[in-house]
Amino acid sequence: MFWKLRQSWNKLVSIGVFAEQAPQEARRTRILNTIAWFVILLTAIYLPSLFYLYFFEGENNISGIITNVSTILLISMTLYLNHKRRYFFARIFLVLLINLSIFIASIMAGKVLQMEYAFLIMVAVLVIFFDNWNTIRYLASISFILFWLTKWHHAYFNPLLSNVSYRYFMPLNLSMMFFGLLFIIKNFKNEFTRYAQIIEQQNQSIFDQNEELQSQAQAINRQNEELAKKNDDVAASISYAQRIQAAILPSLEENIEKNLQKDMFFILYKPRNIVSGDFYFFEQIDDKLVIIAADCTGHGVPGALMSMIGMNTLEEIVVSLKITQADNILNQLHKKIQYALKQQETNNRDGMDISVCVIDKANNSMEYAGANNPMYVIQEGVLHEYKADKLGIGGYQTETERIFTKHFIDISKPTIFYLFSDGYQDQFGGADNRKFMKKRFRELLFSIHHEPLHLQKTILDNTLKNWQMDYYEQTDDILVMGIKIK
């Protein structure tokens, strides 16, 4: 029986409490419900005494009966607000309503019932209900004001209901206030105990989570150390590959210097990463100079591997086989790249875009063939663009045989020509974060073609830096070669 009553009571004081509610909010809601039910029960206990005075003592206390009934109904509104989860308004409403009820009951019954001391209990309740000290201060001020107004009314005015029989209920009233206070304190204690248990459980959960996080942090630190070591190993390998690549390309530049005057060419070479997928090639076979600029698939390590394959293959075609026709160099390069990468079997799509230029010194002529990479030639103040075939070296092939087009250029008059990859014109930058674009690149080359070639290289490099604005990272490997023929 007692257990069922306790379960019923727990349901009554848990109105408005839900599983996801914060523990502190749930505790306050339960305490608020406890006080509301206590006031309802206390008021309900007074009603029989008021009816007794009215019917048996002839006391005209109908206003007291109405006040008590109204109090029960209004206090029930607090439970309704909690049910609707309007917790703050429920607390404000309850505190103001109880203060008002105590004040009305005190001036009606006089100092016989000593009800004004309930104001002091309400002040203590405020600290439980509210966190904001301004709210506590304002509501406590109301309680103190009503307390002294009640005292002042007792001193200078008679009670509105002046029946001497009220004093018979004074022991009952004081007893109810005493036991009510004990009841609230007990419930406060129970709620604080419940809250302390919840806090302890949460602390234990946080402690367990912290241990788990520390364990995970240690595992992450170990992984970071392993990754750092692997990163160092990879960086060392890439640096070694860069030294190999750098050892080959400068030797080509030295080879160019032997066959062309130093002020007759420039090479702007800017890898995006440590190693590059762009490369240049130079070789003299009899009276012919073979000059090549290539852009391999990808950049960084994959591009660098492809560039090494390209340079070795070109070395075989030009030096070993002595093939010096621009179009035939591309035809042979395409076949050998496909064979080396087994592209017909593996569907590998790696390859390169490339410009091949062959200068015939004896005949003052130049051949050009291109795979997706054009060439710009400037003669007598006019820029000519020699377009490349829209076919790449290596990769997917639908045609029976890939044949590249050969162009002839007369170089009996002063000529300057440019070979390049697409890295410069594809660089993002500027105020609107756009590509430099082919048109702007072509206009830049034409505007500086009359300058010494070493100065042209400086202008190109500075223009690129200004375009990036010290903000945009390099998009791709960059290669630009300029060669002047007198």
State pTM to two decimals.
Answer: 0.56
Tell me the per-residue pLDDT of 383-394, one tens digit each, with 9 for 90 and over: 999 999 999 998
Q: Are 340 and 274 found together in one domain?
A: yes
DSSP strand pairing (478-485 vs 265-270): antiparallel
pLDDT of residue 156: 81
Looking at the fold, whether 38 and 139 belong to one and the same domain comes out as yes
Statement to judge: residues 315 and 451 lie in one domain = yes
Same domain, 289 and 169: no
CATH number at residue 397: 3.60.40.10
Residues 136 and 46 in one domain: yes
| pLDDT confidence of residue 452 | 93
Of 69, 346, 47, 291, nearest to 172 (Cα)?
Answer: 47
Considering the domain architecture, whether residues 105 and 199 belong to the same structural domain is answered as: yes
Q: Residue 240 domain-assigned?
A: no
Residue 195 lies in a domain: yes
What residue numbers bound the domain in which 123 lies? 2-211
Give me the residues of the chain with pLDDT under 50, please: 164-165
pLDDT at 418: 97
Domain boundary at 211, 246, 272, which?
Answer: 211
Give Cβ neighbours of residue 429 (< 8 Å, ≥ 6 apart).
Answer: 436, 467, 468, 469, 471, 472
Do 176 and 268 have their domain in common?
Answer: no
Residues 479 and 395 in one domain: yes
